[in-house]
Structure 1
Amino acid sequence: MYDYRNIENKVKQLDQMIIANISLDIFSIVLSLVPIVYLLSSHRYKQRLNQYFLGVSISNIFMIIGDLPDWIIRDSSKPSMKITLSVSSALFYIASAFVLYFFARYISEYLKLSGKEKKGFLTAITIVCSVQIFFAIVSPFTGAIFYVTDIGYQRGSLFLISQLVPLFCYISFTVLVIVHRKKLTRREVMFFLLYIFVPLGGGAIQMLLRGVAVVNIGVALALLFILVNIQFEHELAFRRQEQELAELRIDIMLSQIQPHFLYNALGTISHLCKRDPEKAQKTIKEFSLFLRANMDSLKTRSPIPFEKELDHVMNYLYLEQQRFQDRLRIVYDIQITDFFIPSLTLQPLVENAVRHGILKKEEGGVITIRTKKEKGQAIVTIEDNGIGIKRAGKYSNLGDHAHIGIENVRTRLLEMVNGSMEIESSDQGTTVTLRIPMEEL
């Protein structure tokens, strides 16, 4: 005889599990909305790091939406239900790939990866996520990683791909966090690893125990962990950094339009008005462009195109050449301009080369400005054949104004574009080299 009571209890337990899974998915959507609302408020989404985090959160919601019909649809014998379940299942796998992709972009930006490391990491993640997206799209027709029958969703012969892709990504994230742990606080390391292992553990449970939906709630909770324990702290640090960088911009701008420079520029223009009115008119235009660029820098929070910064330096050098004539010669060797640099970066370095290098020599000298691309970096060099920093320090107050300007440039390069600055100097001259990672993906 059939044990109808036992069958009835099993059906009841199945119904309760389905209701629980639906409730968990709905709760996961609500949790995922929290970071979305936060990032969309006060225009926080304009920051690149926040854009990637927003991408993770939105993709997670679509992943959950794709998961819901698997629990809601009890009878998939009708063609319309099969189509609905097939589309939603494909959406689930596609969205889960985007969750991984956007988190890869997020952690890459957070750790400030650059060069070959960044390119290799993001290329690998993009490829494996694309593989999952491809099989998700073709599965409704081929049954590769899933297929739908009259009794519902079923795992396909290549289902393992959908598990190996996130496993590969999470292992990559873990390695990245461990390798770059010195860039992070212990708190950041702990919560990044927590974000990685909570969904990973949930995926292992869900793979072994069909019918238990814990991945979605795991990812949603992990997102909140990141939001509360990392994003909030990062935003506070970012605002402090913005304030410091604004103060540095003001310091540099004021140092570049000191009264003696204004007086000298105006004196040069006055002299040209009598001797060469046409050149005086051009000099006035260059002077106004120089002042405007300095004022505009106060409103510029983000890095600017290198070409714009170079134009500003050329305006400055034109003014100095009108004053010093043949004592100041300029060579431009510009091979690339398609990169970004903090505003007022070249100006202090070129000014130092002019005032503390070239003009300390009676016969003057040459300043060469070069750019080139090397190993995924933009290389900018400012080279002079002046008397060198050590000798210049004996004859001027180089330790004050010039030193502060150089350190401000170094700080802003690191904070804004993850760049670096090297200085080599001797009695034969000084070479300043800037290295700026170029965005390749």
Structure 2
Amino acid sequence: MSTSPFANLPDSQGYFGRFGGQLIPPELKRVMDEIDAAYEEIRVREDFQQELAELFSDYVGRPSPIFHARRLSEKLGGAQIHLKREDLNHTGAHKINHCLGEALLAKFMGKTKVIAETGAGQHGVALATACALVGIPCEIHMGQVDIEKEHPNVTKMKILGCKLVPVTRGTATLKDAVDSAFEEYLKDPQNYIYAIGSVVGPHPFPKMVRDFQSVIGREAREQFLARHGRLPDHVTACVGGGSNAIGMFPAFLEDESVHLVGVEPAGEGLDTQRHSATLTLGKPGEIHGMACYVLEDEAGNPMPVHSIASGLDYPGVGPQHSHLKELGRVDYETASDDECLEAFLTLSRVEGIIPALESAHAVAWAMRVAPTLPKGEHILINLSGRGDKDADYVAEKLGL
């Protein structure tokens, strides 16, 4: 973010334009301000940066490569498709990037327990991994619906030693897991830390998670320039809360020639209530301690949402995405459950890469538009995770 006009965001109150902030009780604000102060202290320390860089290299396996999906590009015709392979990271997704940072911060602050929510389980696995590495107890709250869909990740979390708390209230999905985890955190916020799994929640979490995830875009920009002598024409990523997209987009915000596209879940259709298209159909509101776009019902409460991808079914979205939407710098499109499944199978069978259902939304958008673009144009997809966790669910759903 250092060369971007967005470098001064969020402001001192945690706002990106009119979105973000700390919409929380005064006693909790004091705790959040302590976390922010500790983060600002540790982030500039050379020993912290060195430890994080070494973990990214030797533990995560960074830099993740960019793969030219030649066979998929040939099959579709039109633009060339490239994949930023976050699925190759240790634990299988981009989530490990910020989980290592949050675990190191918890250790620095002397916290006795790390608490978090998870949807698809990738954040839960990554955080359980990071907590095992630094030696801090970990407690993960997960909706019962997602536990049943994402059994492989549930097993991994238990093996890694975290305490898994099933959440059966409401829709028993991601929003309810957030509510449950936050309630546990409030029991002792001085000794616990809530490691939010996306660029959402009260300040400073949208800023912190963005900063840890920004390694994706920095690498991708440098890699693409080195290989092609130019930047991609289009950069796309899926958007639920928005962490993988905010990891990718900031490195290209200054490049007006680069078309940035966030892809939300259209679910079973935008004309139904079975979707999670917050930026497409939502409106400015408040949720989980922040101002952002929100999908609300007629009573003004967060709407029950749906996506075939458990990590995207959230009725809010990161405040920076809300800001970028209003600025018009990023276009926010959608892909349906059916398009997602088609992209999941196509990438698997044409390139031998099984993507996470979340990431398959961005692949679906690329598959839709590539045939309409000249062959000389390039689309870069942030392939945010691998589909091991989804394989059994997809196979059962499609009768494979």
Q: TM-score range by the shorter chain?
A: under 0.3
Q: Which has the higher helix share?
A: 1
Q: Choose 1 or 2 for highest CA Rg.
A: 1
Structure possessing the higher relative contact order (Cα contacts under 8 Å, 6 or more residues apart): 2
Q: Which has the higher strand share?
A: 2
TM-score, length of structure 2 as denominator length: 0.22
